[in-house]
């Protein structure tokens, strides 16, 4: 009887403890919503108190931003997509960063010399940028090519997630070069210089010459192998014709006797097809590495007008003015609260 009573007391205490926990949790949630509501009311009272000030700074921001937009020159953006070869992408990024720094610092004479354009036209250039241009399909293909170059032990240590984690702009196959300028035609005039800055580099010229030589050598080897296969195929045909002729002048073909030749001919046909595939792949490589920089999409003759509403000063200036005013009023209110803190806590 005592044990039964003790169990009832323990269960009662357990349910009471669970009830207290639930009540504490709901009280905590209620307090959060009450605090949020209280802060919202304080914020609305703050806005109501200073509403006229915010209206004035928004009006001033719109007027100033509209005037600056009216006086500022239109910006045109041009894009070119390229495919660098022979590990030239790092040098390309360095060159683009150099051009961009000159444009930002308004070093017009140095920029004009670097891009081989008149100094007055270099003044038009505001930004020169480069970024990788790749999608999931291209990254998967590059990963397959990367894995194919590794030995079996290294392949087990690298997976696609690890590859993506270490993937950066330099690893991408295609890259987009963008020029922002106040003249729509200036980007097209810079195209050849940007490309030739890599093409005329002595190191990359040597790499291209070596690549061209290796391709030509491999091409000649494939041509020689194809000729040898053609000669062997012709030889087997002649042997089959000779073996088919009997001494009595009749001709017949014994499939059992000619089986070795049939097997050899099949192997030759397979080898010939393999050489054709290698030839196709070699021609593709020859086309892809014809230049140090492959231009996939050139700069247009005229750039597109940048008309991004959110980047206009008539939008940005009111936001900046309101933010500054808000911070000033908050600091003033905080200072008043700190000055009266001792009186409030007393």
> What confidence tens digit (pLDDT) does each residue in 287-337 have?
888 999 999 999 999 999 888 777 788 889 999 999 999 999 999 888 888
Phi, psi (degrees; rounded to nearest 5) at 133: -135, 95
pLDDT of 159 over the 90 cut: no
pLDDT reported for residue 238: 78
Separation of CA 66 from chain center: 35
**Residue listed under structure tokens 């953006």:** 77
pLDDT reported for residue 255: 43
pLDDT averaged over the chain? Answer: 83
Q: Output the CA angle 108-83-139, nearest 5 degrees.
A: 125
pLDDT reported for residue 293: 93
pLDDT reported for residue 340: 81
pLDDT of 125 over the 90 cut: yes
Separation of CA 284 from chain center: 24
Reduced to 3 states (helix: H, G, I; strand: E, B; else coil), residue 21 is: helix
Whole-number Å distance between alpha carbons of 177 and 108: 20
* Residues in CB range of 118: below 8 A, 6 or more apart: 112
In terms of Cα–Cα distance, which of 77, 122, 90 is closest to 104?
Answer: 122
pLDDT of 251 over the 50 cut: no
pLDDT reported for residue 134: 72
Q: How sure is the predictor about 252, in pLDDT bands with cuts at 50, 70 and 90?
A: very low
Q: How sure is the predictor about 130, in pLDDT bands with cuts at 50, 70 and 90?
A: very high
In terms of Cα–Cα distance, which of 98, 292, 336, 97 is closest to 199?
Answer: 292
pLDDT reported for residue 54: 92
pLDDT reported for residue 248: 52
pLDDT reported for residue 256: 44
pLDDT of 214 over the 90 cut: yes
pLDDT reported for residue 3: 52
In terms of Cα–Cα distance, which of 253, 221, 222 is closest to 237?
Answer: 253
Note the pLDDT tens digit of each residue in 60-90: 999 998 888 888 888 999 999 999 999 899 9
pLDDT reported for residue 10: 65
| Domain map (residue ranges) of the chain | 74-205+296-311, 208-290
Query: DSSP code of 245?
Result: B
Calculate mean pLDDT across residues 52-62. 93
Reduced to 3 states (helix: H, G, I; strand: E, B; else coil), residue 223 is: helix
Q: Which residue has the higher pLDDT, 264 or 34?
A: 34
pLDDT of 132 over the 90 cut: no
Check: CB of residue 103 under 8 Å from CB of residue 184.
no
pLDDT reported for residue 242: 74
pLDDT of 259 over the 60 cut: no
Calculate mean pLDDT across residues 271-299. 89
Note the pLDDT tens digit of each residue in 161-207: 766 676 667 778 899 999 999 999 999 999 999 999 999 999 999 99
pLDDT of 138 over the 80 cut: no
Which residues are paired to 128 by β-bridges? 179
Q: Which residue has the higher pLDDT, 149 or 52?
A: 52
Report residue 180 as tokens: 């922002």
Q: How sure is the predictor about 6, in pLDDT bands with cuts at 50, 70 and 90?
A: low
């Amino acid at each position: 009887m005592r044990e039964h009573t003790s169990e009832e007391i323990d269960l009662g205490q357990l349910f009471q403890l669970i009830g207290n926990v639930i009540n504490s949790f709901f009280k905590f949630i209620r307090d959060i919503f009450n605090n949020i509501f209280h802060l919202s009311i304080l914020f609305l009272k703050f806005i109501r108190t200073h509403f006229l000030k915010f209206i004035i700074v928004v009006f001033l921001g719109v007027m100033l931003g509209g005037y600056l937009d009216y006086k500022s020159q239109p910006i045109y953006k041009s894009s070119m997509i390229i495919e660098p070869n022979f590990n030239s992408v790092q040098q390309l990024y360095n060159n683009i960063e150099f051009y961009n720094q000159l444009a930002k610092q308004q070093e017009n004479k140095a920029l004009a010399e670097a891009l081989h354009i008149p100094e007055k036209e270099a003044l038009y250039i505001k930004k020169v940028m480069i970024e990788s241009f790749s999608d999931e399909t291209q990254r998967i293909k590059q990963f397959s090519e990367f894995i194919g170059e590794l030995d079996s032990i290294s392949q087990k240590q690298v997976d696609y997630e690890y590859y993506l984690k270490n993937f950066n702009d330099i690893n991408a196959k295609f890259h987009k070069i963008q020029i922002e300028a106040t003249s729509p035609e200036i980007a097209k005039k810079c195209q050849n210089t940007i490309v030739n800055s890599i093409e005329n580099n002595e190191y990359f010229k040597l790499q291209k010459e070596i690549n061209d030589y290796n391709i030509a050598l491999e091409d000649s080897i494939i041509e020689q192998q194809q000729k040898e296969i053609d000669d062997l195929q012709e030889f087997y045909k002649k042997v089959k014709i000779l073996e088919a002729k009997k001494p009595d002048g009749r001709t017949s073909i014994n499939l059992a006797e000619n089986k070795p030749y049939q097997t050899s001919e099949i192997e030759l046909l397979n080898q010939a097809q393999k050489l054709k595939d290698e030839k196709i792949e070699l021609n593709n490589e020859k086309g892809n590495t014809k230049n140090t920089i492959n231009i996939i999409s050139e700069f247009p003759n005229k750039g597109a007008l940048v008309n991004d509403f959110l980047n206009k000063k008539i939008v940005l200036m009111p936001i900046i003015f309101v933010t500054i005013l808000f911070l000033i009023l908050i600091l003033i209110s905080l200072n008043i609260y700190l000055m009266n803190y001792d009186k409030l806590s007393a």
